[in-house]
Structure 1
Amino acid sequence: MGEQPRSSMPLIRDAHTPVDIDQIRELLLEYQAAIDVDLCFQDFAGELASLPGEYSPPAGRLLLAIDADSVLGCVALRPLQGSDCEMKRLYVRPAARGRGLGRLLTETLLHEARQVGYSRVVLDTLPSMTEARALYRAVGFTEIPPYCRNPIPGVSYLALPLRVR
């Protein structure tokens, strides 16, 4: 497979217009198909219907990665209890992978979490998400005990402190 020509540096921005939300919804449906897991235990259908929902500012974020006119990926942030937040739905379209876009989305989201004032970001990830798991560890996430219910076997729970304690 030949290398894809690179265009300009992808732009990471808030998803806030109705068109943006439709693009996020499309990406999240691709995400669900890619992981091939029934997310009904997370009320995924309700999440899609109510976007931006829990990901709304000021406490949440819904970010899009765009290159020229192409939507490449997304990531979301939602508040939890106290000063914790949860990173959700990191997804990069297959044609855009291998360019560091997952890392750029993650680092942008972590910056946003710091700006909001969160002290820790948590997430859960499936055993099949090997690239994502490697990325999370590379940016400093470490294993923690489960913080939410997830019935899928082998799920890892990770956290990253955002402030020096």
Structure 2
Amino acid sequence: MEKLGIGIVIREMQSTDNEKVAMLIRKVLVELGVPKVGTAYADTSLDQLFQNYQQPKAAFFVVEEQERIVGCAGIAQLENYKGNVCELQKMYFLEEARERGLGAKLIHICHTCALDFGYEYIYLETLPYMKAAQKLYLKTDFKYLQEPMGDTGHYSCSVWMLKSIRSLVTD
């Protein structure tokens, strides 16, 4: 667990968080007008995230403010890809938690975790109109790709980015 200020912590997800995290993700996706198919909204794992991250080289984190979950993200092996690449997955924040530096901090924690797990690269997928997210990813050393890696099933996400673990910025 990492305390970020008064009443704000980033911690590993617990099984009791499943329903709250699924509701947060769906709320953000609906708010942003994301298609319900071909995105995280349709993932069958969404209601059982804790259980799905109980595998080697995977972790999922939540951001809590005043004991309320306001953001989340995880990493796991990139599906259907043979290289030593993890995917930054399901990174979403409620509107009141955005543009406060919490996203950059959560990405840093995920990167550190990926480094500890021995991954070489972190991959992500997003949507073209999620410009604020792309700005954050670029600021944290992700670079655009011309085509997707692996097969996540998120065919509606047409922006792909990759970051070398070696470019991890240390505090």
Distance 2:39 2:95 in 1: 24
Superposition RMSD in Å? 2.3
Q: How does 1:11-160 map to 2 (within 5 A)?
A: 11-17=9-15, 19-42=16-39, 44-80=42-78, 81=81, 82-144=83-145, 145-147=147-149, 148=151, 150-152=154-156, 155-160=158-163
Is the Cα–Cα contact under 8 Å of residues 54 and 78 in structure 1 kept in the other structure?
A: no
Distance 2:27 2:165 in 1: 30
Is the Cα–Cα contact under 8 Å of residues 72 and 91 in structure 2 kept in the other structure?
A: yes
**What TM-score, normalized to structure 2?**
0.80
Note the residue ranges of structure 2 that are not aligned, 5 or more in a row: none
Distance 2:46 2:84 in 1: 25
Is the Cα–Cα contact under 8 Å of residues 56 and 62 in structure 1 kept in the other structure?
A: no
Bigger RCO (CA 8 Å, 6+ sep)? 2
Note the residue ranges of structure 1 that are not aligned, 5 or more in a row: 1-6
Distance 1:68 1:97 in 2: 16
**What TM-score, normalized to structure 1?**
0.83
C-alpha distance after superposition, 1:7-45 (max 9, x if no partner): 61621110023x222221121111321232234335724
Distance 1:98 1:163 in 2: 26
Correspondence for 1:3: none
The change in CA–CA distance for 1:24 and 1:150 in structure 2 (over 3 A counts) is closer
Letter in 2 for 1:152: S
Correspondence for 1:4: none
Q: Percent same amino acid among aligned pairs?
A: 24
